[in-house]
A and B are shown apart, each in its own frame.
Chain A
Amino acid sequence: MASTAGVAQDLRQAAKDKKKDVGQMSQWQLMARRFMQNKLSVLGLLILLGLYVLAAFSGFLAPYQFNELDSNNVFTSPTGISFAGGRPSVCGQSQVLNEELLEYEYVEDCSKRYPIQFFVRGFEYKLLGLFPTNWHLFGVSQAGAPVDEATGKPQEIKLFLFGADNQGRDMLAQILQGARVSLTVGLIGVGIATILGSVLGTASGYFGGFIDNVMQRTIELISSIPQIPLWAALAAALPREMSVVRRYILITVVLSLVAWTGLARQVRGKVMGYRSLDYANATRAAGGSHTRIILTHMLPNAVSHIVVVAALAIPGAILAETALSFLGLGMLRPAVSWGVLLRDAQSVQVVMDYPWLMIPAVLVIITLTCYQFLGDGLRDAVDPYS
């Protein structure tokens, strides 16, 4: 009933802006319109776009390098920012000698404030991976910093928006860097799976017979091994020692090796449906080749469904990367992904003491929820009757 209402709504919407008649709108325009009407999906899409932009500009947004260790700031909690005097500023730290342990300890000292500055120079990086620069969105003015008694150099006053981890690395920088991996591994993995699934599914559904039979048995076999253990076994089969980039590529391959089966099944079903339709027969009768029939008739018709199925598969793949990295089988340090970061938050004690280590988990949840909204909206837009 909701769907008929949805269709009626389209008609009304179209009738309202008299510029275009629904009858004249292309199928894609209709889908786009239906999609835009689903507020949650649009919201999901916007949030996701925002996250991707943040990831793309990670170097600019992060005040420190993501792998910069700092033994003075182990497990530092998120820095408090005060707006005293109308300008955002942070407190400094003063060094006190612990008489019992005979070590220097750092305590917050708000007697002197260090203003936060915007558009400052910092470490070198490549903007969008292309343009070398050292501009950053923000940093802390170091003017008047006290001298560290142990090293004799001025203390560095740091701003940890999301706190620091067990090695004093800035969580914000790590999260931004991790987003680059976490937001893309699943996407690319599903991309590869989609190509694989579309080609194999189309072949299977179109030719039927022996090819179809072999394909179906293969898919059945793969889906007879539970996904997460299979993913884990595949990932474990990767050599431990290799470059970050290679590992990244191989993990996407691992993800796609399992994910293609579902896509192939869906595409096969669609293609089998189309095969029996008249226009395919007509093309064949007119002497059209297989490739021609597949490329001109079946794929265009199946594309919208492939997109939907792919979109619905993305959250699973992202979650899989996070889980594998969390288990120490996916991405490994020095690479950073949200799953890798969460590895540090495996025990209750750590979570209770340093809750900011869970920020990556919040981002995982937001990302997955948005992808779900997006996938749902796409499905409803493509197929309002289901």
Chain B
Amino acid sequence: MADPVANTGSTATTPDGGVDNLIQVENLEVRFYTQVGVVRALNGVDFNIPRGQVLGVVGESGSGKSITGLSIMQLVPRPGRVEGGRILYKDKPDSKTINILDLGRQSDEMRAIRGDDIGMIFQEPMTSLNPVFKVGAQIQEAILLHQTPNKQEAWDRAVDILDKVGMPNARRVANSYPHELSGGMRQRAMIAMALSCSPNLLIADEPTTALDVTTEAQILSLMRDLQSEIGTSIMFITHNMGVVAQMCDEVAVMYLGRIVERATVDDIFYDPKHPYTISLLRSIPRLGQKRGQRLEVIKGGVPDPYSTVTGCPFHPRCPSFMPGLCDTVLPIEAFIEGKTNHTVRCHLYPGCTPDSDQAVTGVSGTIPTTSKAQ
């Protein structure tokens, strides 16, 4: 993977003061009411996506990245429910802020946002296109829904956008069925579909995980080009730090349904604060690493989603574990001194340990999961 130094994102101008956030997520909580018990998938997630920027969301699988993306679309699958928080969305810098969660899941307003304002790409290119419809028709469907009622025009636009995502012979591709395309081509078609209505935000959920390295590089460079061309913001979900380095302006690190560190991509790579982030970075191979030196793995595994961890959820695996503190008190989010916005949730840093009366609310954030006895 490329050296992080080379790529710091193309539009990495950190906004100061009056930040123009396209999306601002506040204290988002999502729970799954399964037969076995309640799964707390997201426990108060806060982040924002500045207009025109690329936010990387990283974390091990199961940390809640996909659910975060789906929450923005109001597409959390059953038996999941968004239980709290706000998702503020601003269509244009001067338009009114709306809380997406206030819209009904099936309301016309919400459906107008889906596909038109916010597009989404999924991890599995093999299964994210409907096998029984032509690729062109599936893109045309989105355009007909949001842009023009004219079928021919929509079809032409679909072909155009396929051309734009670098499909050789876009006309033929539009007329083929998904099973006739390779994985990379399908993912390009998905990108075309997601971008067909020029959305303000593109949520890309591990778009390259299922692809081989060469195809991955092509897709990433395509997304970067399109991003700078259209000016779309991207929420780029991945578990691959190398991809983050190539793609993102800002990074949010997730662990067990919480964001544990937020910073610019430079800060994440050169000045990581949270022990989890540090371990994540250590686990990627680097150029110049001594031969024979072992790659580090984070010890332990992600805990069972049904069980409860008191205190900092990372403490059982943390190399800097402080007994008596980390296993009892949930750290709160605090700013790190510096020129850029850099926040962390870890008792190692000042401001993260709540004072005693706040500690009560902090701990109450981890109500033991009430697993319904079967």
Instruction: Enumerate chain A interface residues (CB-CB to B < 8 A).
Output: 1, 5, 8-9, 11-13, 15, 37
Contacts and interface: CB of A to CB of B under 8 A. Distances in A.
Interface string B26-62: 0000000011110000000000000000000000000
A40 to B, nearest CB: 15
Nearest to B305: A8
Contacts of A12: 36-37, 306, 371
B36 A9 contact: yes
A9 B374 contact: yes
B338 interface: no
A1 B374 CA distance: 17
A1 B77 contact: yes
A8 B304 CA distance: 10
Contacts of A13: 374
Interface in B53-90: 77-78
Q: From DSSP, what is the main secondary structure of chain B's interface residues? A: loop
A362 B374 CA distance: 33
Contacts of A5: 34-36
19 contacts: A1-B77, A1-B78, A5-B34, A5-B35, A5-B36, A8-B34, A8-B36, A8-B306, A9-B35, A9-B36, A9-B374, A11-B304, A12-B36, A12-B37, A12-B306, A12-B371, A13-B374, A15-B304, A37-B374
Q: From DSSP, what is the main secondary structure of chain A's interface residues? A: helix
Nearest to B374: A9
A1 B39 CA distance: 14
Interface in B5-38: 34-37
A8 B79 CA distance: 15
B38 to A, nearest CB: 12
The 5 closest A-B pairs by CB, nearest first: A9-B36, A5-B34, A5-B35, A12-B36, A8-B36
Interface string B128-167: 0000000000000000000000000000000000000000
Contacts of B374: 9, 13, 37
Given A5-B36, A12-B37, A13-B374, 14 more contacts: A1-B77, A1-B78, A5-B34, A5-B35, A8-B34, A8-B36, A8-B306, A9-B35, A9-B374, A11-B304, A12-B36, A12-B371, A15-B304, A37-B374
A11 B35 CA distance: 13
Nearest to A13: B374
Nearest to B371: A12
A227 to B, nearest CB: 32
Contacts of B306: 8, 12
Contacts of A11: 304
A37 B371 CA distance: 17
A231 B77 CA distance: 48
Contacts of B77: 1
A9 B39 CA distance: 13
Interface string B333-374: 000000000000000000000000000000000000001001
Contacts of A1: 77-78
A384 B160 CA distance: 45
A14 to B, nearest CB: 12
A5 B33 CA distance: 11
A15 B303 CA distance: 13
Nearest to A9: B36
B90 to A, nearest CB: 34
Contacts of B304: 11, 15
A37 B306 CA distance: 20
A37 B77 CA distance: 25
Nearest to A8: B36
A5 B305 CA distance: 12
A38 to B, nearest CB: 12
Interface in B298-312: 304, 306
A13 B371 CA distance: 12
Nearest to A2: B35
Nearest to B306: A12
Nearest to A12: B36
A160 B299 CA distance: 75
Nearest to A1: B77
A4 to B, nearest CB: 9
A3 to B, nearest CB: 11
A149 to B, nearest CB: 68
A260 to B, nearest CB: 34
B84 to A, nearest CB: 23
Contacts of B371: 12
A380 to B, nearest CB: 14
Contacts of B37: 12
Instruction: Name which of B35, B77, B78, B371 has the most chain A CB atoms within 10 A of its CB.
Output: B35
A9 B34 CA distance: 10
Nearest to A15: B304
Nearest to B79: A1
Contacts of B34: 5, 8
A5 B36 CA distance: 7
Nearest to A10: B36
A11 B34 CA distance: 14
A13 B374 CA distance: 9
B81 to A, nearest CB: 14
A201 to B, nearest CB: 30
A12 B372 CA distance: 12
Nearest to A6: B35
A381 to B, nearest CB: 16
A21 to B, nearest CB: 14
Interface string B284-327: 00000000000000000000101000000000000000000000
A11 B78 CA distance: 21
A8 B39 CA distance: 11
